[in-house]
Amino acid sequence: MTTARPLGHVVVVGAGSAGCVLAARLSERPDVRVTLVEAGPDHRGADTPAAIAGASYVAAKDVPGRSWPSLVATRAAGQEPRAYLRGRGIGGSSAINAMVALQGRPGDYDEWVSRFGCDGWGWSDLRPCFERSALVLHRAPRSEWGAINVAMAAAVPAAGDGVLLTRTTSGRRVSVNDAYLEPVRGRQNLAVIGDQLVDRVLFAGRRAIGVRLADGHELPADTVIVAAGAIHSPAVLLRSGVDTPGVGENLHDHPSFPVALMRKEPADLQALPIATVATMSSGIGRYGIDDLQLLPLEHVDAAMPELALVMAALMRSQSRGVVRLASHDPHLDPLVAFDMLSDERDWAPMNAAIDALERVLAHPAFAAVADVVPYDRSPAAVRSVLGDYVHAAGTCAMGTVVDTGCAVIGYESLLVCDASVMPQVPRANTHWPTVAVAERLAQLL
């Protein structure tokens, strides 16, 4: 495991849930100089676009330049590729996500140790990192809940308290830019560079010595940390010629089955889309506890305020996909194929999730506010409409691609830190766990 060592000048690639944490924590050390490089725009907290600071992730994701416009993925066999939402710009996906903050179960992290050999990454190691995080967490008051979330709370009383969100009490989003970078931007040993896409890592032999930007400029470094997310981190490594086995493999997410609702009253498009999460258990297999999630969305499309969704998600899956390069041109996004439900073991809990969704939608509270749009749950139909949670993980997995210090195996001075290092995604939305992983690596370094 990596321990405290001279880091020198650190270039961190990507200013998302992990990159902002690392830049803030590592720059606490006066002997370290940190340059944080982000493909999308940088701005101070006070200059955050109103739609990003606001309550609706639907509005946030539509802000020009704040997501990867050409990134697509296939979720399951037979599907055509369609858009896969990933944050671009300071704060990464924490600036455009639904703000849901969950930790997962302790067993998720203990499994990283017992099954994948990731000593030092069990629950006892990560729990303090969750607690240490600078994220601002609050539940939305009932006065902000929409009709679909109120119905979910009525149908599933355990969801009635609402879910923690990364926001202030007044409802303003708190991204990792706000929580981590803003308080430390005045440090002389920290530089933040926006609107600069990283092409590749530069090497002297097998030691990282900097990065080359897409415009050809080079940034020298003593240490390079790639924190570009589970889609773009493996792409950077592959463009760099990193030959460690497993780069881009083990791709997985939380597969979801969406059921559309037609609201009896249109949604307020500026209001909070998600205030509750219903967690359930399939009872199937060793990990059949809290392995299902029902997620109500008040609105999903600015052009259709009457359309709502409830998603039935499988929080623990066995199927795996891959990220590959479409080209060595850094301006072209990689090829992303999740291959969800390709492992037959995923079908029983997925059907259990849909069963749970049907029971919940049959509750009178839903009938009072919306009509369920007819749907088909045959296997072929489920595959055809299968969605995700934009919780991509595992593509630079610890124990395979990186060691327990997040250092790329077979290379020197090159690390990866983001959801890609998770060998198995936890039973949770990935933002807070990714922050905890970055807190843990900063602690180890």
pLDDT digits (tens, 9 = 90+) for 49-67: 999 999 999 999 999 999 9
Q: What is the average per-residue pLDDT within 140-149?
A: 97
Percentage above 90 pLDDT, the chain? 97
Are the beta carbons of 98 and 22 closer than 8 angstroms? no
Question: Taking the CB of residue 189, how many other CB atoms lie within 10 A of it?
Answer: 17
For residue 329, give Cα distances in angstroms to 58, 77, 160, 245, 334. 30, 27, 48, 22, 10
| pLDDT-based confidence at residue 4 (cuts at 50, 70, 90) | low
Whether residue 352 lies inside any domain: the answer is no
Whether residue 379 lies inside any domain: the answer is no
pLDDT score at 6 = 82
DSSP string of 174-242? --HIIIIIGGGTT-TTEEEE-S--EEEEEEETTEEEEEEETTS-EEE-SEEEE-SHHHHHHHHHHHTT-
Quick: pLDDT tens for 245-298: 999 999 999 999 999 999 999 999 989 999 999 999 999 998 899 999 999 999
Whether residue 437 lies inside any domain: the answer is yes
63: burial class by Cβ within 10 Å (0-12, 13-18, 19+)? middle
Phi and psi dihedrals of 382, rounded to 5?
A: -60, -45
Question: Taking the CB of residue 115, how many other CB atoms lie within 10 A of it?
Answer: 11
Written as six digits, the tokens of 384 are 């055809």
Which of 64, 41, 272 minimizes the C-alpha distance to 165? 272
Quick: pLDDT tens for 393-421: 999 999 999 999 999 999 999 999 999 99
Taking the C-alpha atoms of residue 410 and residue 203, their distance in angstroms, rounded to an integer, is 12
Written as six digits, the tokens of 431 are 């933002």
What are the residues whose beta carbons fall under 8 Å from the beta carbon of 33, sequence distance 6 or more?
8, 9, 10, 27, 189, 190
Q: What is the average per-residue pLDDT within 175-188?
A: 98
Whichever domain contains 109, its CATH number is 3.50.50.60
Give CA 76 to chain center in angstroms. 19
Quick: pLDDT tens for 84-108: 999 999 999 999 999 999 999 999 9
CA atoms within 13 A on the CB side of 339: 13
Does the structure show a pLDDT above 70 at 69? Answer: yes
User: Across the chain, what does the average pLDDT equal?
Assistant: 97
For residue 99, give Cα distances in angstroms to 56, 139, 295, 373, 409. 9, 10, 13, 27, 33
241: burial class by Cβ within 10 Å (0-12, 13-18, 19+)? exposed
For residue 270, give Cα distances in angstroms to 67, 146, 256, 420. 19, 11, 25, 32
CA atoms within 13 A on the CB side of 255: 33
Does the structure show a pLDDT above 70 at 303? Answer: yes
| pLDDT-based confidence at residue 5 (cuts at 50, 70, 90) | low
Q: What is the average per-residue pLDDT within 335-360?
A: 98
Are the beta carbons of 360 and 310 closer than 8 angstroms? yes
What are the residues whose beta carbons fall under 8 Å from the beta carbon of 181, sequence distance 6 or more?
15, 20, 23, 24, 36, 90, 192
Whether residue 77 lies inside any domain: the answer is no
Q: How many domains does the chain have?
A: 1
| pLDDT-based confidence at residue 2 (cuts at 50, 70, 90) | very low
Taking the C-alpha atoms of residue 17 and residue 229, their distance in angstroms, rounded to an integer, is 9
Taking the C-alpha atoms of residue 354 and residue 367, their distance in angstroms, rounded to an integer, is 18
What are the residues whose beta carbons fall under 8 Å from the beta carbon of 255, sequence distance 6 or more?
75, 76, 313, 314, 317, 319, 338, 340, 341, 346, 350, 386, 387, 388
Check the CA dihedral 75-81-85-88 and report its sign.
positive
Place of tokens 């725009």: 41
**pTM for this prediction:** 0.97
Quick: pLDDT tens for 314-327: 999 999 999 999 99
Q: Give the range of the structural domain holding residue 179, as residue numbers without chain letter.
A: 1-51+85-99+102-135+173-253+391-445
The DSSP output letter for 12 is E
The DSSP output letter for 133 is -
Kindly provide the b/e burial profile for residues 93-103, where b requires at least 16 CB atoms within 10 angstroms of the residue's own CB.
Answer: bbbbbbbbbbb
Taking the C-alpha atoms of residue 22 and residue 440, their distance in angstroms, rounded to an integer, is 10
Whether residue 63 lies inside any domain: the answer is no
